[in-house]
A and B are shown apart, each in its own frame.
Chain A
């Protein structure tokens, strides 16, 4: 069914015919789910003295960005939004007081994004006050309610995660009974495979995880895992990064044996860290009912009309006026050279890896201790030594059965952390595909006059003027963005889609050239912020101002721009 296939296309999109994944170990394993359990107490709505947005607002922005990214990247995942410590109660059987299920576990759609929008900003706080309010807190009840959400789901869930957003380290104010109940419920949840994370937010006087929450959250996956974030999130960006890191379940495309030589085998997982995202394919709908239709493809005999079964057909190619016929099995057999796996050929200095030897996006490998124990140790030793000696490993790579081999370079990559101690690059080998002789074309190079030193110096000036710091995630795909804006407009009955900002055009940003083009000074902006008169400015001016301060906004609604600017400038 299109639905199912599309899901996996997003997961591991098989753009190339032979890039389809093999693993199978998760193909049938079900859907991911994520519950946001958000504290709705008064404390969450307090704006800190330095004028930043409230913790609640920050959380909602974060939830919204997860919703929209799920819609695009993994629309089959289930997401729920639950508030605790509310005045009002709303849950399936209304058996829990002070728990408000704002969104049941379901795949996010356009309506949900609109629902979140209602909770954003100053107006959102008022709306929240009116609909959910702040009241008594019982985390135990809230967790119980969440566990019901999970058990009400008929689908098989593969990955269950619950994230608690709060700025109160002692939610029950020393009520031991409530604390106990919360611990029991948390333990119950963890037993059913739910991973509980704490996204703790700033609190005057500091958030003390050890006071209560250390017993609630799941222990880190193993001792090596980065463990509890001791620092609470201050900025939306940090929060989003932290949520995103947890929210995406990493999955290997396949697990393979990596053979160093006779009898020395380790196991590795193969991961796709970058793959061209494409527009999802269209679904065919019945004109009258908008109901999805599916296609059936049949082969039949041209003369007698009988249905042809697979063994009634063979494969053929014509060469030199002759048709050559083979069985389907033989066509597969031709592609078979060896069993799937990585086989080490040897090592080469890094400078032998040519920049222009590129034919496919790279993969990433990481040891699989569960398949062959001891893999991580050999892997780490190789990783350290390869990077120390500045060499890469050359391997023969067969990703799955009946697939011809390719040679790949395993380039060592050691772990790097960013300032906030989050992993910037993971430890492992990048798998770079190398071209065969057939993949390299012979060109007649154009030979012309070359530039003089003076001309080169002139050009250096130009280069200098237009220099900027490239970051791989700074360009959005305008085609995809436009597509989703269009869908959004149609889904939400908007008159016209919101305009996208095309970062790939010269006027779209990216280049430093545009930076000085501020139409409004920082001073003026600060005044506007102080007087809450940003609303008087036009959207393009606000956008330019955002760009000027390097603020990436989740949308282009005026209010969002104003909020973003306010947050940035009132620091």
Chain B
């Protein structure tokens, strides 16, 4: 079951590693970076791999084999264990160049010993030793055969990382899709010492005898490695088999196995909320309460609530028990063919769902393999696909989807994609574009577009006339993950630093390829001159909140409140008697009355008002926004007239901070439209806010994302099982 590996990083820290030509980074520093990047990747990949670290050329000696002057200057720095931030920090601070030299073959033996001792009783799929050295030391080759044999016997694989390439050709170019310039500075062959030349021969010898010709693939340069390692490991999930039966009618049944082949991978971890001071997760408690929609927000116990659903304007009480009993019952797992249809009738843009499943015949079932192969080939030659009912299991909702034939050189399978239900489709009609006098492009405009397309083709012909795709999206790592891990790592190592900028290689990977950019310059200019494009200046079509919601009878109109203030409040006082607190029915009136009557302090009146505002906003419903806006308007007006800006400004600032978390963006937009900003110095002397700051206050906005996807009860699919394990 375990698919983890054990790996020993074995780094040469001997004095020759610190030598370098002027202006070049010493091999020691390069090797250190390789190790750092590697460990970093391991930490974030969070697999069960164990890593050990052995240094050679150290001043001291610390290993099991050291005896009688043998295996000296070799230090086991870290035994096999899962890599963590501690290791990263140790590498950062404790990994220093040593003043000695040690035989790398001896170090290799120490590593083998370490692997064998510490993996005893545990199961690893792969044992690996990674050697980083400049080979600049005298080695005794007499033990070489013994070493090779015991490596083979123990099933240990080797990787070498050297400052220079193995042979004349620079292998860095072979990386293919690795972004960035190729390493040209590592000079091959020339300038190597006799020890190094001899060492190289031995490396070749070991590698070819271990893995035959492929062995040399595992010898890398530092520079090459750094480039590849700066890309964080892609999120790799082990495909989960989904055994089922493909049925055609009642007569034909084929045993199949499905695997998710393509699906949008999400970050495995989500953010937890911690206390800002203590950084403790347990210090934050979350509580959800139910309350009635009345003035007092009367709380209701969870047990006193039942479930209901909307049916148009009605709300139908519908308990969970009833729902479960009455809901659609599926017969469970299935992959049954409903019929066959022409592939062209299935539109690519109507693919639904978030995955593609590859369907193979069950392993070692010859009948199934032949039957499925016949189906795949029949469909392929007829250009048809199967329309299938797919249900992952008893709990999940059935889907209708298409199974397309897929014939590759090495294997055959069906590709299953979900298709829409009638309810999923929206039939919108759009005005026609062609044959529309206003928009019809002229001949010269069309040829400009034509030239632009030609100049921007991302598929080029190489020397052999083969077309090569120069921008393969499916080879680009998801930038979201790369950036996240970069920031996490940075913050983990430097807790007080601001976040680093996006790494240049990542930025470059998201841009148009340089060659294409250069090529399309002229055609693009032509398009620019031939097509007049003008940003339409909006005639201040901003709506005020009153426009948005209309002014209905039972909600005060912000503008009117201001004008009619005098009269309305006098009337109100007569009608309502003395007002003693800000109620929820007409908070604006109450608040203004309180301020005028001075029965309570201004501070208290404001406090009561803000309490009501918070309550209204708590509904997060546009129907209440109008009322809140009126409250804020009144708050502001009264603050200005009483010359007290501080309370209003600080409330607004805290309100603004809470916008993203409370999802009040819409509300904030209304404030912008009504220009309800901070009170500036120009208005109230005591204000600490300049006119400009006040103007800019609203302009900044931060969009909040929906906190969590609505939980769907039946997204049950291959990965869920995996998550449950």
Contact = CB atoms under 8 A, between A and B. Distances in A.
A261 B524 contact: yes
7 contacts: A224-B433, A274-B350, A309-B658, A320-B87, A380-B441, A455-B370, A472-B347
B621 A380 contact: no
Interface string A271-302: 11111111011111111101111111111111
A359 B264 contact: yes
A248 interface: yes
A112 B286 contact: no
Does more than half of chain B's interface fall in helix, strand or loop, or is it mixed? Answer: mixed
Interface string B492-527: 100100010010000000101100110010001001
A467 interface: yes
A283 B370 contact: no
Contacts of A261: 517, 520, 524
B268 to A, nearest CB: 10
Contacts of B370: 448-451, 455
B703 A466 contact: no
Contact of B353 (A276, A287, A401): A276
A441 B260 contact: yes
B129 interface: no
Given A322-B84, A448-B368, 6 more contacts: A285-B307, A294-B293, A335-B483, A343-B512, A352-B459, A456-B381
A526 interface: no
A459 B662 CA distance: 59
Contacts of A391: 453, 457
B456 A445 contact: no
B149 interface: no
Contacts of B82: 320
A337 B484 contact: no
Given A22-B703, A309-B658, A356-B406, A448 B317 contact: no
A348 interface: yes
A325 interface: yes
A506 B336 contact: yes
Contacts of B477: 436-438
A475 interface: yes
A435 B473 contact: yes
Interface stretch (B152-160, B185-193, B213-221, B442-450): B442-450
B259 A491 contact: no
A440 B531 contact: no
A16 B709 contact: yes
Interface string A301-339: 111000011111111111111111110111111110100
A260 B527 CA distance: 9
A497 interface: yes
A301 B282 CA distance: 9
Contact of A437 (B83, B474, B621): B474
Given A359-B355, A445-B413, A371 B535 contact: yes
Interface string B280-307: 0111111111111100010010001111
Contacts of A428: 430, 433
- List 4 A-B pairs, minimum CB-CB distance, nearest first: A448-B369, A511-B339, A451-B374, A320-B84
Nearest to A343: B512
A506 B82 CA distance: 52
B24 interface: no
Given A15-B709, A402-B705, A504 B398 contact: yes
A373 B534 contact: yes
A274 B411 CA distance: 33
A483 B458 contact: no
B431 A222 contact: yes
A511 to B, nearest CB: 4
Contacts of A447: 410-411
Interface stretch (B6-14, B416-424, B573-581, B689-697): B416-424
A93 interface: no
B449 A443 contact: no
B269 A317 contact: yes
B257 interface: yes
Interface in A397-447: 400-405, 407, 411, 413-415, 422-423, 426-428, 430, 432, 434-447
